[in-house]
Structure 1
Amino acid sequence: MVKRHSSNVFVDRLAYSRHSNGVMTACQVPAALIHQIQEELDKEEEEMMVFLCRDLAPDLATADLREILAALNEREKLSPVGLSELLYRVKRFDLLRRILNTEKATVEAHLTRSLRLVPDYRVLMVEINENLEKEEVGSLLFLLRDYTPRMKMAKDKSFLALVIDLEKLNLVAPNQLDLIENCFQSIHRIDLIRKIQNYKHKALMSSVHSQPVYVNARPASLTNLNLIDPPYNSGIQNGSKEKLQNGLNHTLAEPVPMSIQESGSASHKGTDEPYRMQSQPLGICLIIDCIGNDADVLEETFRGLGYDVHCHRYLNIATMKQTLLDVASLQQHRNYDSFICILVSRGSHQGIFCTDITCSGFPLEQIKNYFTPDSCPGLLGKPKLFFIQSYIVPENEQECTSLLEVDGNDKNIVTKVIIPRGADIFWSHCKVDASTLEKSSTSCSYYLRCLAELLRDPYIRKLTISDIHTELNGRVYKWNETAEPCQQYSLLLQHTLTKELFLFPT
């Protein structure tokens, strides 16, 4: 006798064969089991499950969960495997184990190789619902007043209930999500826009391969961001404004199946496990401001984020190198979950001068070498973020420093960039002509000011650091639209992060 794996017992236990005498088939489950599961679910979980089943029983749109599951069971649409998928989608992994005697990994394996019960569109909406705060749903309801004046705008309406109302008005459908995207743009939820764009991308790929569109494709939220974000051009022509504002298209990649997280906060969590950010403090934030205009705001901002801030002003190169060495040697890194370094200085395109006047400068490339695993073992596998503001001192011949993506055919663009070596590095480098300091010696960097404002925003700070930087790109672009050429900022982002990174406890 062949011994079966214990995780498949639930299929054996619930499998029946129906002949002419009316005995249940393997496509059905006992009514007592449906009752038991329904009793275990709370009101919100019932709402999610009803929403997931909406396309499976369109004639039962107003029925409760028990009626819908019973009807699907009678119609032989609710197999034990399908029931396990529904529990998986609402993250009731405890019921999978206790009632269906299976594991989350078993269900995931089935979903990767077989057709799913629930359409991807429904899965996407449920995932978005779980990632929205109550206040954000209220904002969506307000924004949609212009589109749905006759819709009942109850204050306690859930996002899923809102979607159903929009579906009834033909404003939202599996292939019609622009309205929701626009609303997410208004409340700065770029992460949710990315979910929708990945869903659309997979639907397009499915269509190209002549497979069913929007239904039973890969899970809609399973994204795999590029390790290196494309550079953006500060001198973008007007025609590329839309490209930058919707620049998330540049980061879409073929999705990779991941498991749904079983523990921790569900808020804004993708299916990729993010970097661990639970230490107190979250890490050391080293600020070296050789200009003296930004340190106070930056220190307050990162201290508010939960970092142990070490702030230094007006260092020469020798002192800066010693400071980097001293900070990299701190044993506290072993107990912390991340590291941030912010440098503000005059310099050249590839180096910084600090307060020194006559020198060749210190290569920017070498700064991160102080914090590699060899130099700083305590930061192995942990995210290391660098924000550099360089005030470029002109040379004999002005060099084009535009590093943002350009829409035209400008052949003078400098394409040489500094690419971080090693994993877990986030490198944001902003350049502006040093003449901006001569015009206003006390004004802070627009780049760093916007960064601080974004990190202080209670909604935007919930995004991943990559999404926050996308917002930062947009603000720099708008500044450059009206600024004089010598006051335009060029912004470069390169990173080798291997997970999503949130700058708050996760």
Structure 2
Amino acid sequence: MTNCQVPAALIHQIEQELDEDEKEMMLFLCRDFIPDLPTADLRELLGALNERGKLSRLGLSELLYRVKRFDLLKRSLRTQKAAVEADLARYPRLVSDYRVLMVELNEQLDKKEVNSLIFLLKDYVPRMKMAKDKSFLAVAIDLEKQNMVAPTELELIEECLQNIHRIDLKKKIQKYKQEALMAPSSAQPMYINALQASLPNLTLVDPPYSSGVWNMNKEHPLNGQHAIQKSSGPFQCVCCRISTYTFASYSAKLMGQGSKGPLPWVPDDRYRMQSQPLGICLIIDCIGNDTDMLEETFQEVGYEVHCYKYLSVEAMNQTLHEASKLQKHKDCDSFICILISRGSSQSIFCTDQPFPGFSLDRVKQFFTADSCPSLLGKPKLFFIQSYIVTATNHEPTSLLEIDGDEQKINTNAKRTWNCIPKAADIFWSQCKVDVSTLERSPTSSSFYLHCLAEILRNPQKRKLSLLDIHIELNRRVYDQNKFCHPTQHYSLLLWHTLRKKLFLSPS
């Protein structure tokens, strides 16, 4: 299939056959191709594409296929829907999956739903001109200009779709994200931000995460408790190639801040750890002995730390839910969750409920890719200190019932630990010690967490990969066990599904 020019008469004929909605869709599909042509005229756009050798009959067929004008495929291009589908599977595509997705959403939203989306967006972009009669594609273009929507930034759209009860469309976005993660970047046409497209001679390669400035130093109450949020500084965005303008000056005008220049190259076998902060570190301490030490440690490492103490089961559920929905995740390279509580091997008890407690597997599920798409492809680290309380201490039973309970607990344990590695990019470190250790010394720090903090605050140790850090942690904990009574031994379990090497330092 050659990229021969399309006759102007054919372009004119097709443009005459399209209605206004179809023209709008086609213009949106073509936004990435000629950023220096700020026009709303489809014929002029197609003509310019044709003159520059960017429009072939195959490309024109794809555009008609995307707007579902199968009659014009047959009448004007002498081809069929099935033939175009076969060509799209064999040859490079003209239109990116992102723009195809947005057009599909546009087709499945009625005017009432679009108006509801516009109303909801006032919470995020109050100064944006949101005319009531705008189409979804026009709204998408406005959000692109604000750098709030892009191929890798669709959480805002997802949240709005959730609020108008279009879960089917939210799932469509999540499917797109899953497929995009697996596809090589070279398989997608270049994306041009709508604001970039309005600036002549400015060509930008879209960065993997959006830029933004955080100034978080707030304290939020939650069921009588407090969550402390702190930021370690602004997040710098990066661009790969610029003509005429330099990105530093462009970014300074756009964001009101300077640029430190391009971030260093990251090897394919390493997770990207360059954002500022590196991510959110969520600390939930239902014992109360380790919060300050951990907060100071992970701030030093480069995380924005959110601390909660003495949560009930209801507050635990609310806290995890809200943490999983934070918009900041999309700008960060990782996430950490630290839990400290009495519990069993499979659950934590919080402050108001012993057995069965709050399932640890449920904790993990809040942050897997299907529940938290903003963390898709990013490492999610869990460090859990469990002070083990046996069921027999709380639930008097007969010998027969104890046997039954024991079998049930073993079965649940096997099921729980088997399911932990199923989600990608999870690092799950759990330390168990008998609750009697805590009862003997109610104000003492967890030896496991104390060692973890000590290693991470050592600049040389922090240069190790996370797996090597955990090996060092294992060594220290098990050396300590040699001097303790068996009932005071710490037991460590590590499960992970990391796909790359992870270093808790910029790389």
**TM-score bracket for the superposition, by shorter chain length:** 0.3 to 0.5
Q: Which has the higher contact order (CA 8 A, sep 6+)?
A: 1
- TM-score, normalised with respect to structure 2: 0.43
- TM-score, normalised with respect to structure 1: 0.43
